[in-house]
Structures are given as C-alpha cells and as structure tokens.
C-alpha cells in the first residue's frame, strides 16, 4: 500500500518535469520567432524611414508628382514614370489574370493525371523561380524583335504578365484545392456537370485566394526593373502616352499601347546612378512612392480577402 | 419477404419538359409500367475497386420502391461504398472501377454503365456532414433546380417552398430565406440539405449516415422526416446506428467485409436473422 503511494507521487514529479521542459521549449521557440520577426520588421522600417528622411524635401513638393524628368534635379518629377507604371500594370493585369486563372482551373479540375500534366505541373512551379532578367531576354528576342512590338508599353506589360503568370497560377490552384470535398460532392450530387460545379460553387469559394494571389503577383511586377530595362525602356520620357479614353467616338484609344514609356523602378535606377547628390534625393522619394504603392496593393489584397471571407461566412 | 406488386402510377412532375413533348410522353408511359417485383433498383453481382483494393464483392440487393432500405454493418464493410455507387460519386476520383450491375427501373438501365451526370440528375444524395453551399437558404434549395435549367422565378419560388415544407424546415426559415445557410444550426442545415435533395423531385434519395454529426433531438427530427418521405420517394440509408435502422427502415441489409450477408424485412433481420454473423452483430458481439 505504502509502496504504491510512493510510486504515484514519483510519476507525478516525473510528469511535472516533462511539462516544465515542454514549456521551456515553447518559450524558447516563441522568443526566436519574435526576434526574427523584429529584425525583419526593423530592417524594412529602417529602409522606409531612411528613404523618407532623405527624400522628404521632394516628397512634400507637389511639383515632384506633376513634373516630367529634368536635367535639373530640383525640377525633376515622376509623372511620366507613374503614368507608365499604371498603364504597364493595366496591360499586365488584363493579360495575366484571365490566362493564369484559366490555366489554374484547367490544371486543377480538368487535366487528366498523367505524365504530361505532371511535366506541366513541374514547369509551372519552376517558372516561378526563373530570374526576371531571363524573362527580359525572352521578351527582347520574342516581343521586341520577333513580333516587332518595339520598346513599348505593350511589350513591358506582356513580359511582366509572363513573369507573374506562375504566381497567379499557383495561387489559383491552391485556392481551388482548398475547397472542401464536401462542397464539390454536394454540387455533383445535385446533378451539376463539371463546368456548373466549377463556375457556380468552386470559383466563388476560391475567389479570395485567387484575388490575393493576383494582387501579390501585381505587387511583384510593379517593382521589377530588370526585365523592363532589358527590353529597352527609356529612362528620360518628357511626355505622356496618348490617353486610353477620349471624348470623341469610339471613346477608347489603343495608341498608348505602342508608346515609349518609363516606369518607377527605372526612373529610380536612373537617378540613383547619377553622380549628383541632388538626384539621390529624387531617387529616395521615388523609392518611397513605389513602396507605398506596393504596400497599398498588399493592404488591398488583405482587405478584399477579409471582406469576401466575412461575406461568405455570415 | 413479399414486396408490393402494385403498379407505379405516379405522374412525373418534370416541369422542364413541355406538354406534348414526345420524350415526356414516353417517360410518363414508362412510369405506368409496373416495376419488376415492386423494386426501384436491383443490385446484381456488383463489385467495386478503389484502385487495386476490392471494396465490394459481387453484392446483390433489391431496393424496393418508396420504402426505406437500410444498409448496416461495421466500419469498413462497404456500406457507404455501395451507397455512393448509386449516384456514381466514385467517378469523381481517379482509379475506381465498377463491375456488375445496378439495374434502375422502370427503364431497366444499368446505372453503373451510363453517364454519371444522368444518374445524379435522377438520384439525390444527403451526406454525412451537413454540407450546404455558402449561399442563401433559398439559393441552396434552388440549386438543383437551376442545374436542371429551371430559371422561372415563380416556379422556383413554389418548388423551394414545397421542398422546405417537405423537409419540415419552412416554418423555421420562411422569414429569412435570403439569409446565409451557415446561420442555421447543424440539424437545420441537414434538413436544408434534405430539402435541397428533394427540390428536383428525384426518384431515389441516398442518405449517408445523415445523423452521425447531429445531437439526439436533431437526429429524431431527421428520422421522422425520413419515415414521412418514404411514401413518396425511394430511400436508401446507410447507418451506423442499429436502433435507427430498426426504427425507420422497412428493409435491412447487413454487410460485412464487402459482402452482402443478409437482406430482409427489418423486423425479420432484427428478430430472427438467418445468418449467425448478423445475429452476432445486432446483439453487439462485434462491430
């Protein structure tokens, strides 16, 4: 009797030690995680703060946002770069999103599981890892010279679309795959065919994921300089492309597609490589605008995802 | 066992086919043909493989028209597999194979050999876990009608209401038809899924352990519902719960390791089983 009681106490002590050890491990892992996060956030914040402090005189000057580039640093602005970036992004989004979403749907829902789809599968994942300058070389050979599209907004939009295709394809597939089997079986069980199931039930449920992937892809494209430099974007653009809309019929105008252009990262790169320190101030200010644009897009992605999820749940 | 032999004279209420449509006339004509032995379906020597694993071994089973047939047996005996053969759910996943027949009457078609979409338009299903769509209550019930090309608002309204009344859910949801289906309790969600299955007026409804995720009160409501529906639609139900099978079914089939061990009137199977394995299972000696 007495021996039994001792044994019970002893095992209790043993478990106490085990629990204490587990708790120590938890605390250690949490501390490492917090440390890593703090280092990463601090780096990002210090870059942003540094850029803001350096670029401050230009950032608060409205002329900076409405002026064209200039030989005089205090008169130089980013209007042509901002418009160029916006138009290139428009082309990129219009080209990449439908293609990538369609590809994602095909691979996830329609493609038979065989060696061919396995090869496509591996290649899509690999494409996401190809350096962006390689896409630039491809575009230079294919779009600029092969198709004779020249160094235009269209070419830039196409190359950036290629660049982010794998990102959106992968995001679309992940989003579709995360739809519970239940939902799919419920639709098929009612007699729905594949396209009805995909378009009425799977895609609406996968929309937050697809949208997030799209915006993350576009946020990556907006900051890319290498492929755009490779295709020969100009660095000094003192005019705006023709506007896409006009007051006379047919109200839309596609001349802007074939216009020369510059984009924000190129403008930044150009200024930072000048010897004069005043241009470096401009470069810092451009960097801030670019980062704000990227962060705003990521913020939008989070907001849309949140709204759609809330809408679906309630 | 003597299944009813009365002829089936139920009028089809297929609103998608116009009057005078020769197909509809043919269909109606066939509907008035007596079902062989009063059965809606006959499983004959049905075998099924998940890849290389054989899950059903030459199973035979009659499914009597407008009665409740329960499939019972221990986990992994193949009862859910058999149920899912009836609306070809296995076709959604690669590597599955059928052999044998499920004859569907009165057309006398082998439903494991025809287009799976065609089968699913005729045979509805209610799943183990309530799985409403993330849409409104109304949209959930109307889903099967929309799949069949019914778009007219007045027809949809009428049939959604009828289905919800049928599923004993109308009074609870009539004021919030446009509210999300996710706002309902688990039991209400399952009755919504039953309404969704009922709305297109299928010939047969499959229930795959419909109460296993529900509390006793919600379970009782679903059981009442299944019994009420039995007069109008043929029901095949898989259940883990033997009391449930004995309470709500007219016929019971006991399966073990992919084989059909015994089939008969529920009373007879539960009081005087012919096979010793059935006796052992229903008296709780294994499973």
* CB of A191 less than 8 A from some CB of B: yes
Residue with tokens 């006796």: B279
Query: Taking 50 as the threshold, does the pLDDT of residue B29 lie above it?
Result: no
The predicted structure's pLDDT at residue B28: 40
Q: Which residue of A has its CA nearest to B94?
A: A113
Q: Which among A191, A313, A314 is the nearest to B144, CB-wise?
A: A191
Query: Taking 50 as the threshold, does the pLDDT of residue A220 lie above it?
Result: yes
Give the pLDDT mean for A201-227.
88
Domain ranges of chain B: 38-282
In a shared domain, residues A36 and A82:
no
Strands B53-64 and B234-238: unpaired
What's the whole-number average pLDDT of chain A? 85
What ipTM was estimated for this complex?
0.81
Give me the domain span that covers residue A4.
1-55
In a shared domain, residues A160 and A226:
yes
d(CA A181, CA A166): 25
d(CA A168, CA A37): 26
How many other CB atoms are found less than 10 A from the CB of residue B43? 24
Query: Taking 50 as the threshold, does the pLDDT of residue B3 lie above it?
Result: no
Beta carbons within 8 Å of B185's beta carbon, 6+ residues apart: B218
In a shared domain, residues A108 and A151:
yes
What does the pLDDT look like over A7-60, one tens digit per residue? 555 666 778 888 888 999 999 999 999 999 999 999 999 999 999 998 888 888
* CB of A113 less than 8 A from some CB of B: yes
Q: Which among B94, B121, B183 is the nearest to A191, CB-wise?
A: B121
d(CA B59, CA B41): 13
The CATH number for A127's domain is 1.10.3720.10
In a shared domain, residues A43 and A155:
no
Query: Taking 80 as the threshold, does the pLDDT of residue B169 lie above it?
Result: yes
- Model confidence band, residue B14 (pLDDT cutoffs 50, 70, 90): very low
In a shared domain, residues A236 and A108:
yes
The predicted structure's pLDDT at residue A232: 76
Is B200–A312 a contact, with Cβ atoms under 8 angstroms apart? no
The predicted structure's pLDDT at residue B206: 94
In a shared domain, residues A166 and A37:
no
d(CA B271, CA B267): 6
Give the pLDDT mean for B23-52.
68
In a shared domain, residues A86 and A31:
no
Give the pLDDT mean for B83-110.
89
d(CA B80, CA B73): 10
Task: Identify whether the C-beta of residue A104 lies closer than 8 Å to the C-beta of residue A116.
Answer: no
In a shared domain, residues A87 and A224:
yes
What does the pLDDT look like over B176-194, one tens digit per residue? 999 989 999 988 999 999 9
* CB of A314 less than 8 A from some CB of B: yes
Q: Which CATH code for domain B38-282?
A: 3.40.50.300
Give the pLDDT mean for B129-155.
91
Last residue of a domain, one of A12, A37, A55: A55
Helix axis angle for A115-127 and A153-177, nearest 10°, is 120
What does the pLDDT look like over A91-119, one tens digit per residue? 999 999 999 999 999 998 888 888 888 89
In a shared domain, residues A217 and A296:
yes
Is B133–A183 a contact, with Cβ atoms under 8 angstroms apart? yes
- Model confidence band, residue A240 (pLDDT cutoffs 50, 70, 90): confident
The DSSP annotation for B76-116 comes to TSSHHHHHHHHTTGGGGSTTEEEEEEEEETTTTEETTTS-H
* CB of A182 less than 8 A from some CB of B: yes
State the total domains in chain A.
2
Task: Identify whether the C-beta of residue B237 lies closer than 8 Å to the C-beta of residue B253.
Answer: no
In a shared domain, residues A2 and A111:
no
Query: Taking 80 as the threshold, does the pLDDT of residue B1 lie above it?
Result: no
Among A178, A190, A312, pick the best mutation site for testing chain B contact (most B Cβ within 10 A).
Answer: A190
């Amino acid at each position: 009797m007495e021996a039994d009681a001792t044994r019970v106490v002893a095992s209790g002590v043993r478990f106490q030690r085990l629990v204490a050890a587990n708790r120590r491990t938890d605390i250690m892992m949490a501390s490492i995680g917090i440390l890593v996060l703090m280092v990463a956030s601090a780096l990002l914040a210090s870059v942003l703060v540094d850029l803001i402090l350096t670029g401050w005189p230009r950032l608060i000057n409205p002329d900076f946002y409405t002026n064209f580039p200039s030989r005089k640093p205090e008169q130089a602005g980013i209007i042509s770069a901002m418009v160029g970036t916006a138009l290139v992004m428009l082309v990129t989004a219009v080209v990449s999103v439908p293609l990538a979403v369609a590809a994602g749907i095909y691979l996830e829902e329609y493609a038979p599981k065989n060696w061919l789809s396995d090869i496509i599968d591996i290649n899509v994942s690999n494409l996401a890892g190809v350096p962006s300058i390689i896409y630039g070389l491809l575009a230079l050979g294919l779009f600029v010279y092969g198709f004779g599209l020249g160094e235009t907004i269209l070419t830039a939009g196409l190359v950036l679309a290629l660049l982010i295709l794998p990102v959106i394809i992968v995001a679309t597939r992940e989003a579709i795959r995360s739809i519970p089997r239940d939902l799919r079986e419920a639709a098929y069980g009612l007699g729905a065919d594949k396209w009805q199931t995909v378009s009425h039930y799977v895609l609406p449920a996968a929309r937050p994921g697809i949208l997030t992937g799209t915006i993350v892809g576009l946020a990556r494209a907006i900051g890319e300089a290498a492929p755009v430099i490779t295709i020969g974007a100009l660095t000094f653009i003192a005019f705006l492309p023709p506007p896409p809309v006009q007051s006379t019929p047919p109200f839309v105008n596609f001349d802007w597609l074939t216009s020369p252009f510059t984009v924000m990262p190129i403008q930044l790169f150009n200024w930072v490589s000048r010897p004069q320190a005043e241009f470096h101030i401009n470069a810092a200010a451009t960097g801030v605008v670019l980062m704000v644009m990227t962060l705003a897009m990521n913020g939008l992605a989070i907001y849309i995802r949140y709204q759609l999820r809330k809408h679906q749940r309630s | 066992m003597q299944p009813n032999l009365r002829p089936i004279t139920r009028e089809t209420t297929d609103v998608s086919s116009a009057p005078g449509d020769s197909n509809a006339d043919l269909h109606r004509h066939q509907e008035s043909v007596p079902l062989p032995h009063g059965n809606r379906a006959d499983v004959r020597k049905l075998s099924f493989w998940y890849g290389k694993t054989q899950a059903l071994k030459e199973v035979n089973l009659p499914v009597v028209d407008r009665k409740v047939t329960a499939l019972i047996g221990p986990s992994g005996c193949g009862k859910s597999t058999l149920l899912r053969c009836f609306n070809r759910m296995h076709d959604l996943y690669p590597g599955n194979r059928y052999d044998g027949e499920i004859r569907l009457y009165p057309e006398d078609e082998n439903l494991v050999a025809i287009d799976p979409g065609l089968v699913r338009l005729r045979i509805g299903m209610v799943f183990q876990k309530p799985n409403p769509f993330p849409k409104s209550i109304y949209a959930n019930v109307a889903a099967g009608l929309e799949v069949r090309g019914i778009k007219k608002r007045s027809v949809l309204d009428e049939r959604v209401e009828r289905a919800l009344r049928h599923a004993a859910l109308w009074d609870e949801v009539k004021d919030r038809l446009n509210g999300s289906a996710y706002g309902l309790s688990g039991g209400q969600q399952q009755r919504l899924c039953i309404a969704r299955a009922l709305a297109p007026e299928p010939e047969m409804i499959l229930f795959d352990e419909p109460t296993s995720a529900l509390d006793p009160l919600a379970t009782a409501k679903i059981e009442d519902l299944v019994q009420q529906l039995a007069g109008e639609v043929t029901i095949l139900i898989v259940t883990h719960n033997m009391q449930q099978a004995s309470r709500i079914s007219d016929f019971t089939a006991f399966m073990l390791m992919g084989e059909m061990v015994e089939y008969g009137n529920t009373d007879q199977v539960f009081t005087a089983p012919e096979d010793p394995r059935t006796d052992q299972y229903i008296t709780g000696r294994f499973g």
